[in-house]
Structure 1
């Protein structure tokens, strides 16, 4: 850039005071430094912005033309400086989310985030826990929202929202008539499950500990809606987050199955951030919006 903001400040001060000494005083500069800055600005572009009459500076037609442009530019520069100092400006964000969170919670959060005064954009990538974690590690995502337990020396894992998985079946499935399933019922049932590497599968496997070698898993699918449709079609029973089953339970298409008390399917949703990632105002705002779901 062939001019400096300081030169532009001298130009505006000189235009206001019509005297280089008073302009210099207003900017806490020496008279010679202010005079040099103004001359350098004019010489850079081979122009003259003032008519000089003794010690008096009078804006000429070119100076009058550029004055409002310079005022606008410096006003914007001042706003940017304040934003840097206060780091409160909410900007564009790259978010990664696992399937349950991405499909059932993230869209509302995106809408609320983009409704900020600056109308920032949000890009959302939906994948399983393993993929989202790697993308955060590689700095390809600003923040991840995951539903699986994770340990990584490069990531900060912050608890967010409590969740639970629910075992469910079609309304006309034979198990739908039982008050509580036994371990034998779980062992002999046909299952439609999420794929390995997903947080949902991790929690389901933990809840079914001791039965896993004997389970009859017919299908492993990556998408919750595909699992719900397969279960609704009578292909087997499933185990998914209550978040993605509430509508189907209300409609009566699917029903919740009660499992033995020692079978626990509770879990936690987490934020993940790279430990070296700068915590911007946008990230703080996103996390605050997410935490509002807890209440």
Structure 2
């Protein structure tokens, strides 16, 4: 065999970071050693895996074909090494989650997983949907859990849990006393919403697809807690997951508005690269998530943390 696992590891690190220096730092190598290893790897097979553009590296078509195969081989090699060393843990797993899923649901599931497998390690990254999709596509994450849509051709999408958004306001807002709020009434209000690129915003835009041009979007924020505070202060009304609002509704600091004309339903989904090797850790974690949420209805999702 003309190549080593170390060469593949360096290639994958450079692919993920698009930088020799950042890859070197990630692998605890010197920049010169990393650069030399890449050069020798390419020279062995008389090909280039990256296009050199100014001072940056851009993975080329040959590199793109190699990347998923290299990642799969490295994942398998790590499992073999753990088995030979007699380790019973599942090693290190990188999970990405969107804001609602990550802050209000996945942390509970990760905690349960680590309780069952105390020697395992999980790195949880929380970003919006577009960022998670990009990181899965670039093999920077093993598994993604999102609340938005994904139609990336290289990514496998598996629906998981039903969820719904809720339009809400401060308890003293004029709409709070109404039994039903019409779309026309909503179009007269100032809105505090999640940023574009988030799954929550995608679902909201879909519900208002005939009226987006008429919406008065006063403020866009990247965090649900900031949106809740802004709505509580009277800046406008908001629309986020019922899961993120359960405590505020219990306290009475925020109230739901009845909007039967709007379809604000959606699904939480699992994501992984179609060419990603599913490690034992991935399979075990997916099974745990499905088992702990089996039979949970959309209306009962807010009670899941207490059940789990």
- TM-score, with normalisation over the residues of structure 2? 0.67
Aligned position for 1:49: none
Distance 2:82 2:200 in 1: 45
Write the mapping of 1:140-289 to structure 2, written as runs, cut at 5 A: 140-259=140-259, 261-289=260-288
* Max Rg structure: 1
Distance 2:271 2:142 in 1: 9
TM-aligned CA deviation for residue 183 of structure 1: 1.5
TM-aligned CA deviation for residue 89 of structure 1: 5.2
Distance 1:229 1:201 in 2: 18
Gapped regions of structure 2 (runs ≥ 5): 1-79, 296-308
1:66-106 superposed Cα distances (whole Å, 9 cap, x missing partner): xxxxxxxxxxx99824979xxx8522210000000111111
1:1-33 superposed Cα distances (whole Å, 9 cap, x missing partner): xxxxxxxxxxxxxxxxxxxxxxxxxxxxxxxxx
Aligned position for 2:120: 120
Distance 2:244 2:110 in 1: 18
User: How many residues were matched structurally?
Assistant: 215
Name the Cα RMSD after superposition: 1.9
Task: Decide whether aligned partners of structure 1 residues 227 and 153 sit closer, same or farther in structure 2, where only a CA change above 3 A counts.
Answer: same
**Helix, strand or coil for the counterpart of 1:240?**
strand
Task: Decide whether aligned partners of structure 1 residues 190 and 102 sit closer, same or farther in structure 2, where only a CA change above 3 A counts.
Answer: same
**Helix, strand or coil for the counterpart of 1:157?**
strand
Native 8 Å contact 2:182 2:261 kept in 1: no
Distance 1:125 1:243 in 2: 19
**Helix, strand or coil for the counterpart of 1:192?**
strand
Aligned position for 2:71: none
Aligned position for 2:68: none
Gapped regions of structure 1 (runs ≥ 5): 1-76
Distance 1:202 1:143 in 2: 21
